Chains A and B, each alone.
Chain A
Amino acid sequence: MIISQRKKIPNMNLRLTIPIVALTLLSSACSSNLTFSRIAPLQKKLTEEEVNKLVEIEATYEFTLHINADSSEYKVKSYTLSIGSYDSQFLFCFKNNKLLFWGYPHEFARANSPILNEIGEKSIAKIKQLEEL
């Protein structure tokens, strides 16, 4: 009797393990947030389409900005970057459909470029405005 009881335990384990593993894989595949592994291969001058292919998810917000420091138009896409249970904003900035800079808003603020500083500042204001809608 004891032997037959022991035999049941691995089967019960297996029955529980398969749905748990399937659910975990499904939830990670359907994740709507950015992860570090998705942004690691980014390179400057990638097109927006190439970046979309790498990150595989939709941006939370996207908008264009006009910067005082020059007359160009910049496109900004904002994502949620997840690190464990901590979520934060992560921005991609394109100029003429080429990736110019990417990072946390504070990384735009400390970049050695007044244009990037202004893009970071205006992006935060714009996102705040969009969140309030």
Chain B
Amino acid sequence: MVDEEYQSTFNLLENHQEYTVFLYPMQTGTEKRQSTRYSPSASSGMPSGAMGGGSFVTSTYDATVSTRYAFVFKDDKLLFWGFLYEFGREDDETVANLGAKINDYLTKKKDS
């Protein structure tokens, strides 16, 4: 059903049970970004043929902004899915604890 490549997958233990997490990048918005490149042929305001001609050209484009979206499986069955901030909000203690563990995993991965 989710016809996209996952970003990462890993297993977590919670209360002696194993859970498999799949993280996907969910497109949640766009933002303006700028890219600057050196163009030898662009006008630098210098006389034609002068040494050092060309200039830096800046262009603006819409870049996709993605947010992590997680699917958690237990025994190959989908247990919970959502943005990471949604896990901790659940009344189900297992789901809330899994959310905290996913965050810990990602923080450790980022720091290493």
Contact = CB atoms under 8 A, between A and B. Distances in A.
Interface of A: 1, 5, 8-9, 12-13, 16, 20, 36, 39-44, 83-86, 101-103
Interface stretch (B1-9, B14-22, B31-39, B72-80): B31-39
B31 A42 contact: no
A20 B65 CA distance: 20
A83 B52 contact: no
B31 A20 contact: no
B103 A40 contact: yes
B111 to A, nearest CB: 14
B38 A36 contact: no
Nearest to B54: A9
A112 B61 CA distance: 41
Contacts of B52: 5, 8
Interface residues of B, number: 24
A85 B29 contact: yes
B36 A20 contact: yes
Interface of B: 28-32, 36, 38, 51-52, 56, 63, 65, 67-68, 83-86, 88-89, 96, 99-100, 103
B56 A36 contact: no
A41 B65 contact: no
Contacts of B30: 84-86
Nearest to B40: A9
B28 A42 contact: no
B51 A84 contact: no
13 contacts: A5-B52, A12-B38, A16-B56, A36-B67, A36-B68, A36-B83, A40-B68, A41-B88, A42-B89, A43-B99, A44-B88, A44-B89, A84-B31
Contacts of B68: 36, 40
Nearest to A2: B51
B29 A39 contact: no
A51 B74 CA distance: 30
Given A5-B51, A5-B52, A12-B56, A42 B88 contact: yes
Given A9-B38, A16-B56, A43-B100, A86 B29 contact: yes
Contact of A83 (B67, B86, B103): B67
Contacts of A44: 88-89, 96
